[in-house]
Amino acid sequence: MPIILDGNRVRDQILHNLRPRVAALAASSRPPGLAVVLVGNDPGSQIYVRNKVKACADLGIASESLTPLDSITTEELLALIEDLNQRPDIDGILVQLPLPPQVDSRRVLLAVAPHKDVDGFHPMNVGNLVAGRPGPRPCTPAGIMELLRQYQIGVAGKRAVVVGRSDIVGKPMALLLLHAHATVTICHSRTADLPAVCREGEILVAAMGRPAMLTADYIRPGAVVVDVGMNRISDPIEAARIFRNSAERMATLERRGSLLVGDVDPFAMHEKAAAYTPVPGGVGPLTIAMLMSNTVEAAESAVRRAACPAVGG
């Protein structure tokens, strides 16, 4: 039987390890502070932000949600970000994407001070990742590395295949695996003979956002499969195909109107992988946990800078 890589268990361990660090910061100066900027009324983003705020409250991190109207201009949003950059009680700034079409998202993300960029998206922090220097790492890839560590899955010397080349997951995931001494291949929509390339992977990370795209033909027997996909499907025919007419899943679809499925065929993972992340309950819980970790690290760096201003965080 394959090992199911339980993201909820790893998330709980990450948060458990953060609690004494948050308590120490609160006792010596102040609790860490996270500001979340949510523009507009996207339901998915609202749920995600609520989960972040709840995680902060559970840990003792001070959180602040800013919800400007979706008619905000780029310049107005830049002014809001600059105010947060200057506030000493805010250690981390997170701008929830997507932003409205009239807002220049690139300018907004660049405006976040690099030492407060808890998403790890600022070019300076991307450069730190490439160079192997300290700095905040993108939350989902960092969470995956923590998952592999806690399950004692060796990375050094392994062949790893990452399917997807986004700036948020695919590229930083490949770099983190490379820094851990894996031999890494990045695949994408134009990769020739994609199934054959994927089968080379002793570690296979799927992050392309297409429901159940990777079938058994893509999985090397005994591979470790990390499914980053979070796709909602509502078509009964598609659901019946992916979940093999499972009576339980079809009843859930009828009751809820949709089902969550990853980028890898769930039955194929179970049949061919030595270990895999389920969807839901695999990679998903780790993203917010690593956001909390980045925020705590940013607060600790702020304390060090205050104690010794000549030394960077």
What is residue 302's three-state secondary structure?
helix
Is 150 catalytic? The answer is no
Domain layout of the chain by residue ranges: 29-115, 139-285
Catalytic: 116? Answer: no
Burial class, 287, CB count within 10 angstroms (exposed 0-12 / middle 13-18 / buried 19+): buried
Instruction: Report the chain's mean pLDDT, rounded to a whole number.
Output: 95
Q: Do 121 and 111 form a contact (C-beta atoms < 8 A)?
A: no
Q: Which of 96, 116, 171, 265 is catalytic?
A: 96
What pLDDT was estimated at residue 310? 62
pLDDT at 227 (0 to 100): 98
Percent above pLDDT 70 for the chain: 98
Residue 119 annotated among the catalytic residues of the structure: yes
* Band (45; pLDDT cuts 50, 70, 90): confident
pTM, full prediction: 0.94
pLDDT for 149 = 98
On the question of a common fold for 29-115 and 139-285, the answer reads yes
| Per-residue confidence (pLDDT) for residue 308, from 0 to 100 | 81
pLDDT at position 311 is 54
Which tens digit of pLDDT belongs to each residue from 189-229?
A: 899 999 999 999 999 999 999 999 999 999 999 999 999 99
Cα angle 290, 292, 297; round to 5 = 95
CATH of 139-285, one of 3.20.20.80, 3.40.50.720, 3.40.50.300, 1.20.1440.230: 3.40.50.720
Quick one: fold of 29-115? Rossmann fold (3.40.50)
In the structure, what pLDDT confidence band is assigned to residue 247 with cuts at 50, 70 and 90? very high
pLDDT tens-place string over residues 279-308: 999 999 999 999 999 999 999 999 998 888
Cα distance between residue 97 and residue 256, in whole Å: 26
How far apart are alpha carbons 91 and 300 in whole angstroms?
9
Under DSSP, the state recorded for 48 is H
Q: Which of 124, 95, 122, 96 is nearest to 110 (CA)?
A: 122
In the set 91, 116, 117, 119, the catalytic residue is: 119
